[in-house]
Structure formats: structure tokens, C-alpha cells
């Protein structure tokens, strides 16, 4: 079977999907996606039979319902993971690699299903959803290649005596909690390295987007993942279901992607068992355009950095810091591009921007825009919700946004760009860093020295240099400060799922030769 060699992350400019989607296509897909809990290799109902509804944010209608895990289901899921850990941790790395490789091929072969599932439950346009399929699948392929490469080391102690043997072993059963904004990729970014390392796991997907996670589970089962290795428990009671697991001494690790507020709480809960934690949290990305930048390229990059995933991304550019000499031209050019941006349901081939996830998201984005305008920002384009069914918001550009406006301090998570002028490089660095977050910065400059100064000075886990997209499965994704702990993807990703053990060995020459 040939598989497309693409590592392209989702972008707002990915070409539109080819297959037209009809109501029948949607119904047929929804009928194919399992809707139970997946525990110990079996699809089951929740302990008390509860189910919850999954909504289509573009129409505010019900797509279907899935089993709603109760705390006892969570405990059953962890028991299955703990039971499977010993044998799974001892499987041949090549065997684990081949399961991941098959999963990559199956996800790729079912790209239309995965893309449509994400478009329906999360709202992103199909073309972008296809971008996420390629990105999410690539974690499966990347870590299939990493599984056989795990190794330790053997060394002579500095005094020439003992020998030092350092080995790696799987961390053990993990709990994964994922957000709704990238329903496939945020799951594969955790599952793939854990499978490669030999860990078992319980996945609790976001309650707003459980369908894609359940479809992925079906594919991983088909790829040959043994019972108990992956257990999946959607629930509307995330704290109630995961709380007992964090207190259970069979759990060894928590990996969470979501908001900093929830992450902070989970770190505190993880302290009881001194769990290993990986935290991929919120961001407040500055997008800095220096006076020597290529303005046209900066506007193109801004469009992608802002509108990719409808602005609902932790790496979305939140604050556009533009040198005063370019600020007006930049704001005007960006507003012109955003004004013509086609908004619509994600299945519409012309749509480039889908709805926000729910009513609360629309209310939050509206509040941030209104606050900025009330403080003196100028509305260059957009500014409000789009009336009708669904949770659509206009592509919006605010210029002359005053320092102190809430929109510069909070994650917008919507299609709103705020332009702020600066005068000096020092000022740009200071303003960029005036946030508790440190996930990603974008910098546009043609001055090599300045680019390198930014790479060293900005407090950020990732830097986009003359590009509006940094996400890549081959790169370590993660942030500094309150944006998180640990890295996902790249050579570093598998290390999050490995423990280091050291064996001290007596000097083999100490007693002379026999």
C-alpha cells in the first residue's frame, strides 16, 4: 500500500477536500463510529448506562450520543491498563513499532472519515481537518520509527573502577486527558510515544469531541493493539472520573493537554502519588514584526498563525506586535485579507473558517473585543458574532490596542487579531515576555543577528522564524513558564514515557584475570 509522504501540519491554506459531503455521508459515518467505552479490549456501556450528547457547533444540533463513564468505569479502565502493563512492556519493540505503522496506514486510508468526524464535532473546515489527519497520523509513523531506537549506555566510572549501566524502561500505566481543539492529533501525540515505549494507558478525551477518539480507538484495535493497552473513557464528569485514578498507586504518569487552570489543579492532585507529569497548557503567543521584515510574508504568516484552526489553538498568534513604521500598513493589509475570508460550515467546500466550539466561546471572544474597543482600540474589520444557527464569529482585526486590554492578557481562542505598535527591539522583547505563558513566539525579521538574539532572549519553548506554523511531529512541542512541562514529538517525545534505571557494576578487572 502506498501512503502519502506528508508531514504538513494543518494550515488555513490547505487545499479544499475533494469528496463532496452529503447528509447521507454524515449519517453513514456517524453510524460507523463506536459509541461505547473501550475497556480491556471490549466496547461496553457505562456502569449506570448513562450517555451524553455530542453537538455539531455549526448548527447547534445533536450528532449522536456516547457512553458517559462513571468513576467505577475509570477504575476498571485503570485496572485493565495495570494488568496489561507487565506483558505489554516486554513485547518486542519491533512488534510495537509495527502496530503503530499499521495504525498510521489505517488512519491515512480512512482520512475522509477522520476529517469528517472532526469537522462535525469540532467545526473546522474539511480541508483543515485533512491537515490534522496528516499531522495526527504522522505521530503514529514517527514513533513507530522511534520504538526500536530506545537504548541506554554503558560507561566506565571516572575513577576507572566500577562500570555504569544505564537502561530505559516504560514508565508504566498512564492517564491521558486531551482537549477538543485537535481531537485526533492531541490523542496520537500521547498514545504513539506511549505505545512505542511500552506503556499502557487510559485516555479521557474531551467531552465536546469524543467521536474522533473513539474512531481512533477502533483503528488501533484493528491495527492489533492488545486488550488493556489502550482504554478509552469519555465522560461529562472529568474531575470525578480522573480524581480517583490520580490517587491510585497503579497509575505512574499523567499527561494532560488543556488549559493552564485545569493543568495547575491536576499537578496538585498528582502530588499525592508523586506522578510523572507532562503538561501542554495554554499560550499567549506574540507575533513580532520588525521594521526590516518582509511585510507581505508577515501578513501571509499572520493569517495562518491567527486563523489556523479558527484561532482555537494554543499556538495561535494572540498579540501582533508590529514596529511603529509598519503597524498601519500591516493592520490594513491583514484586515483586507480577513475581510474576504469565507466563513461557513466546515463541510462547505468554500468555507475556510468554521464556527467556534460553543456559546461560551462566542461570549468570551465578544467580551474581549468589546473590552478592547471600550478602551480605545479601533475595529478594522469584523467585531461580532454572525447571527444564525451555530457559533460563528467574524474574522476580526483590532488596531491600536492599548496595553492593559484583556485581549492582550488572555488566550483569545477565536479569529481576532490585535495589533499593537512598538518602537524598539528591547520594548518588543519586554512586551512579548509580559505574560505568564511561554509556549510559542513568531518573529519576522531579515536581520540574522536579530533573529538569533530573539532565539536566545524570548522566553519561549518554540519560535517561528519568518513562519506562522511551528507544529511538526519531528520537533519537540511544548512550553516554558505556565505553558507547561515536558515535550511531545521529536526525539524528546518518547523520553516522557521512559524511566531511567542505573546498575552499578563492580570493576571487571579489580580481581585480575582468572
CB of 477 to ligand NAD, least distance (A): 6
Indicate the residue among 170 and 205 with the shorter CB distance to ligand NAD.
205
Stretch binding ligand NAD (CB under 6 A), from 155-163, 280-288, 333-341, 400-408: 280-288
Give the DSSP H/E element, type plus range, for residue 247.
none
The CA dihedral of 61, 65, 71, 72, to the nearest 10 degrees, is: 170
Stretch binding ligand NAD (CB under 6 A), from 78-86, 101-109, 110-118, 177-185: 177-185
Active-site option among 174, 314, 394, 488: 314
The residues in 244-263 that bind ligand NAD, with binding defined as CB under 6 A, are 257-259, 262
The answer to whether residues 171 and 499 touch, using CB atoms and an 8 Å cutoff, is yes
CB of 117 to ligand NAD, least distance (A): 17
Indicate the residue among 413 and 422 with the shorter CB distance to ligand NAD.
413
CA–CA dist 476, 488 (Å, integer): 6
472 sits near ligand NAD (criterion: CB under 6 A) = no
CB of 169 to ligand NAD, least distance (A): 26
Q: How many residues bind ligand NAD (CB under 6 A)?
A: 28
Helix, strand, coil fractions of the chain, as percent rounded to 5: 40, 20, 40
CB of 313 to ligand NAD, least distance (A): 7
The residues in 188-217 that bind ligand NAD, with binding defined as CB under 6 A, are 204, 206-207
CA–CA dist 144, 171 (Å, integer): 18
The residues in 409-448 that bind ligand NAD, with binding defined as CB under 6 A, are 411, 439
Stretch binding ligand NAD (CB under 6 A), from 168-176, 181-189, 290-298, 441-449: 181-189
Reported as half-sphere exposure (CB side, CA atoms, 13 A), residue 198 has a value of 21
314 is catalytic: yes
Among positions 135, 180, 330, 393, the unique one binding ligand NAD when judged by CB under 6 A: 180
CA–CA dist 276, 171 (Å, integer): 8
Stretch binding ligand NAD (CB under 6 A), from 23-31, 237-245, 393-401, 441-449: 237-245
CB of 204 to ligand NAD, least distance (A): 6
Cβ burial, residue 501 (10 Å; 0-12/13-18/19+): exposed
Stretch binding ligand NAD (CB under 6 A), from 27-35, 105-113, 235-243, 336-344: 235-243
CA–CA dist 250, 475 (Å, integer): 31
CB of 206 to ligand NAD, least distance (A): 4
CB of 47 to ligand NAD, least distance (A): 18
- Give which of 100, 33, 142, 79 is closest to 474, Cα–Cα: 142
Among positions 242, 309, 399, 418, the unique one binding ligand NAD when judged by CB under 6 A: 242
CA–CA dist 407, 279 (Å, integer): 24
CB of 261 to ligand NAD, least distance (A): 7
In this structure, are strands 163-170 and 153-156 parallel, antiparallel, or unpaired? antiparallel
Going residue by residue from 368 to 407, which x/- string records binding to ligand NAD, judged by CB under 6 A?
A: ----------------------------------------
Stretch binding ligand NAD (CB under 6 A), from 42-50, 220-228, 234-242, 336-344: 234-242
| Residue whose beta carbon is closest to ligand NAD | 258
CB of 368 to ligand NAD, least distance (A): 14
Among positions 9, 123, 131, 179, the unique one binding ligand NAD when judged by CB under 6 A: 179
Cell numbers representing residue 43 in the block:
466496547
Cell numbers representing residue 416 in the block:
481576532
394 is catalytic: no
Among positions 67, 127, 281, 405, the unique one binding ligand NAD when judged by CB under 6 A: 281
Active-site option among 132, 221, 280, 488: 280
Stretch binding ligand NAD (CB under 6 A), from 172-180, 347-355, 401-409, 491-499: 172-180
314 sits near ligand NAD (criterion: CB under 6 A) = yes
- Give which of 104, 105, 138, 95 is closest to 226, Cα–Cα: 95
181 sits near ligand NAD (criterion: CB under 6 A) = yes
484 sits near ligand NAD (criterion: CB under 6 A) = yes
DSSP for 367-401? HHHHHHHHTT-EEEE--SBPPSSS--B--EEEESP
CB of 90 to ligand NAD, least distance (A): 31
Cell numbers representing residue 221 in the block:
484495535
Sheet hosting strand 276-280, strand order edge to edge = 42-44, 37-39, 230-232, 201-204, 174-177, 253-257, 276-280, 484-485
The answer to whether residues 6 and 136 touch, using CB atoms and an 8 Å cutoff, is no
Among positions 177, 199, 203, 432, the unique one binding ligand NAD when judged by CB under 6 A: 177
Reported as half-sphere exposure (CB side, CA atoms, 13 A), residue 366 has a value of 14
The residues in 99-128 that bind ligand NAD, with binding defined as CB under 6 A, are none
DSSP for 22-88? -HHHHHHHHHHS--SEEETTEEE--TT--EEEEEETTTTEEEEEEE---HHHHHHHHHHHHHHHHHH
- Give which of 118, 121, 140 is closest to 129, Cα–Cα: 118
User: Which positions touch ligand NAD (CB under 6 A)?
Assistant: 177-182, 186, 204, 206-207, 238-239, 242, 257-259, 262, 265-266, 280-283, 314, 411, 439, 479, 484
Q: Which residues are designated catalytic?
A: 280, 314
Amino acid at each position: 500500500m502506498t501512503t502519502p509522504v506528508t508531514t504538513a501540519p494543518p494550515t488555513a491554506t490547505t487545499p479544499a477536500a475533494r469528496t463532496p459531503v452529503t447528509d447521507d455521508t454524515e449519517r453513514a459515518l456517524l453510524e460507523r463510529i463506536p459509541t461505547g467505552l473501550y475497556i480491556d479490549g471490549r466496547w461496553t456501556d457505562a456502569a449506570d448506562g448513562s450517555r451524553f450528547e455530542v453537538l455539531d457547533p455549526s448548527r447547534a444540533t445533536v450528532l449522536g450520543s456516547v457512553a458517559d463513564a462513571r468513576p467505577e468505569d475509570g477504575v476498571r479502565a485503570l485496572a485493565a491498563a495495570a494488568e496489561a502493563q507487565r506483558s505489554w512492556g516486554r513485547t518486542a519493540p519491533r512488534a510495537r513499532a509495527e502496530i503503530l505503522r499499521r495504525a498510521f496506514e489505517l488512519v491515512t486510508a480512512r482520512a475522509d472519515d477522520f476529517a469528517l468526524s472532526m469537522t462535525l464535532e469540532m467545526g473546522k473546515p474539511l480541508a483543515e481537518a485533512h491537515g490534522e489527519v496528516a499531522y495526527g497520523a504522522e505521530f503514529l509513523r514517527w514513533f513507530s520509527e522511534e520504538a526500536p531506537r530506545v537504548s541506554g549506555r554503558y560507561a566506565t566510572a571516572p575513577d576507572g573502577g566500577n562500570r555504569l549501566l544505564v537502561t530505559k524502561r516504560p514508565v508504566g500505566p498512564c492517564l491521558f486527558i486531551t482537549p477538543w481543539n485537535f481531537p485526533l492529533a492531541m490523542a496520537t501525540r500521547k498514545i504513539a510515544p506511549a505505545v512505542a515505549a511500552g506503556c499502557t494507558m487510559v485516555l479521557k478525551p474531551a467531552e465536546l469531541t469524543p467521536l474522533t477518539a473513539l474512531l481512533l480507538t477502533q483503528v488501533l484495535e484493528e491495527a492489533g493493539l492488545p486488550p488493556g493497552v489502550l482504554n478509552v473513557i469519555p465522560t461529562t464528569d472529568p474531575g470525578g472520573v480522573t480524581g480517583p485514578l490520580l490517587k491510585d498507586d497503579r497509575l505512574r504518569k499523567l499527561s494532560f493537554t488543556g488549559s493552564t487552570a485545569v493543568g495547575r489543579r491536576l499537578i496538585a492532585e498528582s502530588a499525592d502519588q508523586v506522578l510523572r507529569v507532562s503538561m501542554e497548557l495554554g499560550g499567549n503567543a506574540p507575533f513580532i514584526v520588525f521594521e526590516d521584515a518582509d511585510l507581505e510574508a508577515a501578513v501571509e504568516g499572520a493569517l495562518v498563525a491567527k486563523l489556523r484552526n479558527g484561532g482555537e489553538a494554543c499556538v495561535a498568534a494572540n498579540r501582533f506586535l508590529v514596529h511603529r513604521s509598519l503597524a498601519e500598513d500591516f493592520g490594513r493589509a491583514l484586515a483586507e485579507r480577513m475581510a474576504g475570508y469565507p466563513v461557513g460550515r466546515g463541510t462547505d467546500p468554500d468555507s475556510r473558517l468554521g464556527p467556534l466550539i460553543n456559546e461560551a466561546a462566542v461570549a468570551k471572544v465578544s467580551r474581549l473585543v468589546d473590552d478592547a474597543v471600550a478602551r480605545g482600540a479601533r475595529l478594522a474589520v469584523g467585531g461580532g458574532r454572525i447571527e444564525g444557527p451555530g457559533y460563528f464569529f467574524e474574522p476580526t482585526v483590532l488596531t491600536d490596542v492599548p496595553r492593559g486590554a484583556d485581549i492582550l492578557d488572555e488566550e483569545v481562542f477565536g479569529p481576532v487579531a490585535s495589533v499593537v505598535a512598538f518602537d524598539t527591539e528591547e520594548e518588543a522583547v519586554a512586551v512579548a515576555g509580559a505574560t505568564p505563558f511561554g509556549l510559542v513566539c513568531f518573529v519576522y525579521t531579515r536581520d540574522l543577528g536579530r533573529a538569533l538574539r530573539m532565539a536566545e532572549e524570548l522566553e519561549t519553548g518554540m519560535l517561528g522564524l519568518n513562519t506562522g506554523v511551528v507544529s511538526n511531529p519531528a520537533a519537540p512541542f511544548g512550553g516554558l513558564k505556565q505553558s507547561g512541562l515536558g515535550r511531545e514529538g521529536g526525539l524528546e517525545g518518547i523520553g516522557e514515557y521512559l524511566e531511567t534505571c542505573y546498575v552499578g557494576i563492580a570493576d571487571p578487572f579489580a580481581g585480575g584475570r582468572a
